[in-house]
Amino acid sequence: MSLFDAYRYDGRRAVVAGGATGMGAAVVDVLLDAGAEVIAMDRAEITRDGVTAVSLDLSDKASIEAAVDGLDGPVDALFSCAGVADGTPGLERINFIGHRHMIDRMVDKELLGRGSAIGMISSAAGFGWEENLHNVEQYLAVRDFDEATAWAQEHGRTDYLWSKLTVNAFVAQEAMPLLKKGIRINATLPGPTTTPLAKANADTWLTFAEDYRAEVGIEASTPLEQAYPLVFLCSPAASGITGITVVSDAGYFSSGTSKAYQPAVDAVGFMRMEF
């Protein structure tokens, strides 16, 4: 065994929630190439060869529990990749509550054991989670699937931005209790990426930071470019990393925070507002 083998997944079992399209499908491809046994779950049809396909609707508690209960052995890495845009019924469940319920059930059933890892896809839309932590904490405290859904609906928190702020705060909050069980949890915050979801919302999603990309001479990220860091975060090579949210936006928010790129300063300020 070489030192570089820590980046591989040989002999490891991975579950990808949202593995049919976009970044989730790219995660599946990287995992297969890295030697993993892959179980891809999604509401959409999964056509990738070499994986075990499982039906999963993250807006449906019973569907989540059936998918988890159908697993016939331990899981070394769980990738929470599914997500939808504003206007989608059940967004609060699909983007956060359902993922959390899946994680909780897998932990309770001891499917995620010592040495395992969880990787969540958040979004650069959740960049200001620290400034909003005191608002998000009340929501996070409601752990039950149905009660959390009711809370989000009653408080008008069923939007995309709020769901991503919540994912980021959840990762930070859960890092220590999960690590006591030997489980790591991290997330990526992708910038504009050419997924089917982004293309369907191209006027807002893919135009964001367009001026910055033109200035530095790059295009919007591909799903594969976003899959690489997430797969790394759940690999043994990242064993010292937990509770972080990696901003994978090609440096846009860092450039705005440091004022290296002045047009991004206002965007950073907006994202750090209280929502």
* Residue 262 clears pLDDT 90, i.e. is over it: yes
Tell me, what CATH number does 77's domain have? 3.40.50.720
Helix (H, G, I), strand (E, B) or coil at 87: coil
pLDDT in tens, 165-209: 999 999 999 999 999 999 999 999 999 999 999 999 999 899 999
Residue 155 belongs to what domain range? Answer: 3-271
List the structure tokens of 250. 């090609």
The pLDDT assigned to 232 comes to: 98
d(CA 34, CA 5): 9
Residue 188 CB contacts under 8 Å (≥ 6 apart), including other chains: 119, 120, 121, 122, 226, 229, 230, 233, 245, 246, 247, 248
Q: What is the pLDDT of residue 102?
A: 98
CA distances (Å), 53 to each of 27, 84, 204, 233, 275, in order? 14, 20, 32, 23, 38
Q: Which tokens sit at 111?
A: 């499917």
Q: Cα 186–63–68 angle (5° rounding)?
A: 55
Q: What is the mean pLDDT of the chain?
A: 97
Classify 78 as helix, strand or coil. strand
The pLDDT value given to residue 274? 83
State yes or no: pLDDT of 1 exceeds 80.
no
103 falls in which pLDDT band (50, 70, 90)? very high
Percent helix / strand / coil, the chain, rounded to 5: 50, 15, 35
pLDDT at 260 over 90: yes
pLDDT in tens, 11-52: 999 999 999 999 999 999 999 999 999 999 999 999 999 999
DSSP one-letter code for 45: P
Angle (CA) 33-25-6 rounded to 5° is: 35
**Quick one: what percent of the chain has pLDDT higher than 90?**
97
Q: How confident is the model at residue 275 (pLDDT cuts 50, 70, 90)?
A: confident
* Count of structural domains, the chain: 1
